[in-house]
Structure 1
Amino acid sequence: MKLSEAAARLEGASETPRLDAELLLANALGMERDRLLLEGIREGDATFAALVERRAAGEPLAYITGSRHFWTVEIKVGPGVLIPRPDSETLLDAAVAHFKGGKAPARILDLGTGPGSLLLAGLDEWPGATGLGVDASQTALGYARANAKALDMEERASFRQGDWGAGIEERFDLILCNPPYIAETDPDVAADVRTHEPGEALFAGESGLDDYRRIAPQLGQLLARGGLAVLEIGHDQGESVAAILESSGFSPLLHRDLAGRARALSIRG
């Protein structure tokens, strides 16, 4: 199958058909996309064609290739685990700004760690830190542990099954959290996301706010003095999530993503 044919096949199934086709061809050939473009390769075999058909059927690209680049690390993903998005890097941007010029965080907590994306990116950013990732899903924790091992961070990152911060008695310098925040009836969720990614990592009740109401009261006992907690939010949830945090005694600060949309709220210890 030619690269141009693959891109045409993915029209309608992807917002970036040409890019997806190039990444799938590189994956089929066992090389990086940069090398593919440099060598001018424009055609693949039956393996490539099969990958294109999977993407055309709506399977997420990251599930097909088996990984997604996030911040400065490569995160392995697959069915049953949330795929990390560039928008979530807003949380790390906020953390870097907070600790810049001061003492780096020694202990990091990632609530709802999924495949370990935020925690492992944080540990890569601050090599002297160690951290804990918590998730309700054993499938997600399996990916998180595998990612920590692949990144040579298994001595610095530990993971446990849990219900957000319940039962954790330690205080942390940095808390990162990307909870489910999509309303169950939201009509704008992409079909491939709704069909393939785990609903428990996406949806949080009628308004998408259920988990914030559970997390906010726990933060005061988890955040160290001088530390920072950053929570990802939906682009239209700034005021509603801020109100939840304020009801627990915090004064949240809004952070926007690269597109200028509300993407995170932070609180200081």
Structure 2
Amino acid sequence: MTDARAALREASARFAFSDTPRLDAELLLAHALGITRERLLLTLGDHAVPTTFVALVERRAAHEPVAYITGTRAFWTIDLLVGPGALVPRADSETLIEAAVAHFAGGAGPRRILDLGTGPGTLLFAALAEWPDATGVGVEASEAALGWARRNAAALEMEGRVALRHGDWGVGVAEAFDLVLANPPYIATDAELPREVHAHEPAGALFAGADGLDDYRVIARQLPALIAPGGAACIEIGWDQRDSAGALFRAAGLAVAVRADLAGHPRCLIATRPTG
């Protein structure tokens, strides 16, 4: 393939299984050329297609996630390094940062941030980028994922602002935080997933028991002690878990609100300590 437009058409046709075949092709070609996607689109007619693009297309055609192939994923205002062992950041999760921004609107913002199950640091580093005076703690049970978080701390020059810990949710965390973030596993064990997710992304970051609520049960018990007065916890949920997950946090004595994602699906539980 030598013509960029033709190459993108052919690659997009091979990615018909994807929700975003054209975008996938553009990201891979930009990566092969060593430029941004935006630059590619502005200069599409100027580029011959490098031979390396063929290999990238083959990997994507085998359902490997684009983020694993390119090694990066844009999220909120930052670019994250990702690869095998790390959950690929998804746009839906930006709803948690939006909810946090809304909670602290008009105020000083959080000074201390906790990210439970930080993975490659997706939510933690996005929040730290939003509030430059804040510091944070990321807790992660997977050493592989924690390795990606450490790489991102260095790449984003935030090593001095974060403590990254190997741990099980809030176990051993003795501090209360202004903002708690969490995107725990919430998929039922027998649920069907796209091949690229099931075959490549870590099962430990996806599945949470027969009803998808196992990790919410753990976090709900721990959360009241982790939220500082005036603070909030923003927790990702599946589109059909507003009532089931919300009931667990209400039973723990927390007030719960819900924020929808851009598709209108319930995506974020905002838990706060009741006043009065």
* TM-score for both structures, normalised by structure 2: 0.95
Unaligned runs of 5+ residues in structure 2 are 2-6
Q: Distance in 2 between matches of 1:102 and 1:35?
A: 37
Q: In the alignment, which of 121, 140, 156 is matched to residue 161 of structure 2?
A: 156
Q: Which residue of 1 aligns with 2:4?
A: none
1:249 lines up with 2:264 in the alignment: no
**1:1-269 to 2 correspondence within 5 Å?**
1=1, 2-12=7-17, 14-41=18-45, 43-187=48-192, 189-269=193-273
Equivalent residue of 2:238, what SS?
Answer: coil
Q: Distance in 2 between matches of 1:170 and 1:186?
A: 36
User: Residue 37 of structure 1: CA displacement?
Assistant: 1.3
Q: Deviations over 1:16-58 (max 9, x none)?
A: 2121111111100111111111112465232100000000000
Q: Distance in 2 between matches of 1:215 and 1:9?
A: 41
Task: Tell me, yes or no, if the aligned pair for 1:174 and 1:227 is still in contact at 8 Å.
Answer: yes
Give the number of equivalent residue pairs: 267
Q: Distance in 2 between matches of 1:177 and 1:39?
A: 40
Q: Distance in 2 between matches of 1:95 and 1:248?
A: 21
Runs of 4+ in 1 over 3 A off after TM superposition: none
Task: Tell me, yes or no, if the aligned pair for 1:230 and 1:264 is still in contact at 8 Å.
Answer: yes
Q: Distance in 2 between matches of 1:58 and 1:108?
A: 35
Work out the percentage of aligned pairs sharing the same amino acid: 60
Q: Distance in 1 between matches of 2:234 and 2:15?
A: 36
Query: Which letter maps to 1:9?
Result: R
Task: Tell me, yes or no, if the aligned pair for 1:69 and 1:75 is still in contact at 8 Å.
Answer: yes
Q: CA RMSD of the aligned region, Å?
A: 1.0
Query: Which letter maps to 1:26?
Result: A
Equivalent residue of 1:155, what SS?
Answer: helix
Unaligned runs of 5+ residues in structure 1 are none
Q: Distance in 1 between matches of 2:249 and 2:20?
A: 37
Query: Which letter maps to 1:58?
Result: H
Q: Distance in 2 between matches of 1:17 and 1:153?
A: 34
